[in-house]
Amino acid sequence: MTGPTSFSANVARRTWIAALCLFCVLVLAVQCWVTRFSINPDGISYLDMADQLLQGNLRALVHPYWSPLYSCLLALGLKVFSPGPANEILTVHLVNSFIGLMALASFAFFVGQWPRAHEPATDFRLRTGFAYSLFLLGTIEMIGLGYVSPDLCVAALGYLIAGLCCRLANPRAGWLTAAIRYPRAATQRSGET
């Protein structure tokens, strides 16, 4: 069914997703503001690694316990904003806020890649509303924006990978997805002969 009805349904769905994303941004912003002065012992270690990176010590990246990606992100934030020692913690939380927004964008991509069956608008609203409430629960309660750790980076990458997997599973995907799938299909065909 195409025409004005499907167009208005798409607009309503996009408006609903935009409202959910805006609500999530507001909740994340409040959470970041409330926890802006808190830091945990692991966060101090990541901040020390970022300071070492800024001084040119790349050996700080090689550590069996601490994440090099998160330390690089913190070092980038410290380099861009160049805060004084008293404001380093605020910069760390600003970087965490940015990572939280990237996690939300990855989650929105994931939700957008779900198979779209013909379902009533109320089912779509309930399903996506429930999904975004689980995102907020996981981000605020289980990961925590006040907790300085790479866990939110891992969540963002996980949502992105899940969205890419859903996109690959879509049989009506575009040429880029087909190009990504092609070598695997060609390999399977050559193995059968």
Q: What is the spatial distance between Cα 187 and Cα 159, in angstroms, rounded to a whole number?
A: 28
Q: How many residues does the chain have?
A: 193
Q: What is the spatial distance between Cα 114 and Cα 162, in angstroms, rounded to a whole number?
A: 10
40 contacts 147 by C-beta, under 8 angstroms: yes
Residue 121 pLDDT level (bands cut at 50, 70, 90): low
Summarised one tens digit per residue, pLDDT across range 82-106 is 888 888 889 999 999 999 999 999 9
Mean pLDDT of 121-143: 87
Tell me how far CA of residue 9 lies from CA of 36, 58, 122, in angstroms: 40, 53, 11
Residue 193 pLDDT level (bands cut at 50, 70, 90): very low
The pLDDT of residue 9 is: 73
Q: Does the structure show a pLDDT above 80 at 118?
A: no
Q: Does the structure show a pLDDT above 50 at 156?
A: yes
Residue 79 pLDDT level (bands cut at 50, 70, 90): very high
Mean pLDDT of 150-161: 92
Residue 165 pLDDT level (bands cut at 50, 70, 90): confident
| Cα-Cα end-to-end distance for the chain | 43
The pLDDT of residue 179 is: 58
Summarised one tens digit per residue, pLDDT across range 8-55 is 777 888 899 999 999 999 999 999 899 888 888 888 889 889 999 999
